[in-house]
Structure 1
Amino acid sequence: MKKRWLLPVFASFVIFSGIGMNDAEAASVTDLTSTAKDYIGAPYKYGGNDINTGVDCSAYTKFIFSKLGISLERTSKDQYQQGTSVSKDSLKAGDLVFFNTSGNGISHVGIYIENGNFISATPSSGVRIDKLNDPYYWGSRYIGAKRIANFTTNEIAQAEVKGEEIDFSIYASRGAVAIQLAKALALDTSDTNSSFPDVKSSSEQAGAIVALKKLGIFNGDSNGKFNPNSPITRGQLAKVLVEAFDLEQQGEPKNFTDVTSTHWAKNFIAVLSSNKITQGKGDGTFGVNDKVTLNQLNIFIERLTR
């Protein structure tokens, strides 16, 4: 099946353009980094504009920023004319970083994602994360940086300290997962007579939840509840996806530092990675206990249905 590295554009973002700096208060640092990392492993193609079949470095940055409602020019040289200059010691997540890899001035661009790392589309490995000060390559080729937008830093995670105040415009609920899976699997959702006490037959999620329960993909908790408005972790979603799409391991899986040999989700995560459905978070971890975002959910399902 053909790859479709697609991600929906959320209507809450506003499209910006021009050569100045954008006020991107609708997007946070988390939006930026999670969206950029969702495409780790996407193929490289010189002059390519399609994230499905291949993009070059500036097409990748343009694509990621467009998902956050920000318009960039097409080439790395033109992107260098946008925004405001930023010194290397003042870099923030979301700043564009530029390099001279050809010997003829600006020829490569990436997105700074903090902690000395940046992400870009490379000819050798496609989209990947590298060290900005890598002494063997990038460090000596660095030219400068531009701040295209101001991203908010009030992360959703901080709000969650209050308890159940989870922003489901960012994170995926169990009910949202059920709806997406039912659509992807083309299930009959006409039966809305749910056996879960917390899922009313009038709920828009009822048909999907009933259909998935019949297949044994989703079950309730110890109290028989489905908990449609609760979040789901990446580890839990791995199990659901493997069982929903009847996946089997294909070759060697990727190892993740936060998934131990005895972790209950290890085999499910191994199956996902061996099928190239996940590349992890780009820092060697899978994020097994992280809450699944809507972005991530859509990416997983797109890759499973390609």
Structure 2
Amino acid sequence: MKKKWLLPVFASFMIFSSLGINETEAASPSDLTKTALSYIGAPYKYGGTSITYGIDCSAYTQLVFSKLGVNLARSSSAQYAQGTAVSKSNLQIGDLVFFNTSGRGISHVGIYIGSGKFVSATTSRGVAVDSINDPYYWGNKYVGAKRVTNFTNEQVEQVKAETVNLEQFASRGEIAVELAKALGLDTTNTNSPFPDVSSSADYAGAATALNKMGVFEGNENGEFNPNAPITRGEIAKVLVVAFGLKQTGDVEQFNDVPSNHWAYEHVSILSSNKVTLGVGYGLFGVNDYVSMDQMDLFTERAKNLK
């Protein structure tokens, strides 16, 4: 069964104090969430501070909060010293969540976005959304949380009401099944290399076959994340590899995919083959999630090129 992810609908931006716990009277948790999610897919680089060229986990959280007028320390361990401790059962959107991934103390930080999810700069997928209770990795690495901003009760209640159901978007498991059918792959081998894919899952055979082709690779923990949505930037890479597409003809230049963007090559190939024409206004929508209808269209166009 597909998991339901709820993410806040976005409100307006604001400026608030940067000393101690920040009182956020003019903004809502949605402002923080929108900023955090706007960088989905940005590449990771140890010690990096650039969304374009690479950013690490603490630089990412520092950047997100700085956009809203909140000053955070540079390292994850130093950020852990800020704010007020919050129990896992009382987490609110905007809380910083910390993990021990190195075995030597605080080494990773992310931003809680509700519904058991957090967003952070990961080593293998760049900025991405994960489950805080993931039994295969994050759940066992969790250390604690700190609240560095205070939202009013009205703001917290409002963001609970203003939600978008990500069920409308295609999951990685669904996309695997769709691609395997389109490519005519043998999906009888359900002994998946991914630790989070059961052999009894509907997508197990598809995920296994596509992994052998190099279409889908695991994250830093070797996981497939079958219930997670996928961005248009990510699907560009998947389609290019799956169908063996090459650049042909003119390339559409998208304002949100500059030449130094990690997805530029794959988006360019899709564009040159007219598999996708973007979302309008000179944009590709590189960080937008893909719906199943869009996936069906992309797949049909790619199939016709073979």
> TM-score scaled to structure 1, two decimals?
0.51
| Structure 2 match to 1:13 | 15
Aligned to 1:32: 32
Q: Conserved in 2, the CA contact under 8 Å of 1:272 and 1:278?
A: no
Residue 268 of structure 2 corresponds to which residue in structure 1? Answer: 250
Superposed CA RMSD in Å reads 3.6
SS in 2 for 1:133: coil
In the superposition, relative to structure 1, how do residues 252 and 270 fare at CA in structure 2: closer, same or farther (>3 Å)? farther
Once residues 132 and 156 of structure 1 are traced to their aligned partners in structure 2, the CA distance between those partners, rounded to angstroms, is 20
Aligned residues: 178
Any gaps of 5 or more consecutive residues in structure 1?
1-9, 160-241, 254-265, 289-306
Give 3-state SS (helix, strand or coil) of 1:103's partner. coil
Is residue 280 from structure 1 mapped to residue 298 from structure 2 by the alignment? Answer: no
Q: Are 2:159 and 1:153 equivalent residues in the alignment? A: no
The aligned counterpart of 2:78 is 78
- TM alignment of 1:171-250, pairs within 5 A: 250=268
Question: Taking structure 1 as reference, are residues 51 and 91 closer, same or farther at Cα in structure 2, changes over 3 Å only?
Answer: same
Contact 1:250 1:271 in 2 (8 A): no
| SS at structure 2 position matched to 1:130 | strand
| TM-score, with structure 2 as normaliser | 0.51
Query: Which 4+ runs in 1 deviate beyond 4 A?
Result: 154-159, 242-245, 266-273
Structure 2 unaligned segments of length 5 or more: list them. Answer: 1-11, 163-251, 258-265, 295-306
1:109 aligns with: 109
Q: CA deviation at 1:58?
A: 0.3
Q: Counterpart of 1:119? A: 119
- Alignment partner of 2:64: what SS? helix
Task: State the match for 1:64 in structure 2.
Answer: 64
Aligned identity (percent) is 49
Paired residue for 2:90? 90
Partner amino acid, structure 2, of 1:153: V
Q: Is the 8 A contact 1:84 1:148 kept in 2?
A: yes
1:74 and 1:30 map into 2 onto residues whose CA distance is 24
Q: Hey, what's the Cα distance between the residues in 1 that align with 2:91 and 2:104?
A: 24
Alignment of 1:260-279 (within 5 A): 268-269=277-278, 277-279=285-287
Partner of 1:213: none
Q: Is the alpha carbon distance of 1:158 and 1:105 closer, same or farther for their aligned partners in structure 2, counting shifts above 3 Å?
A: closer
* 2:13–2:68 CA contact under 8 A, matched in 1: no
Q: Deviations over 1:92-149 (max 9, x none)?
A: 0000000000000100000000000000001111100000011111000000000110
Deviations 1:175-194 (CA, angstroms, capped at 9, x unpaired):
xxxxxxxxxxxxxxxxxxxx
User: Which structure has the larger Rg?
Assistant: 1
Amino acid at match of 1:62: Q
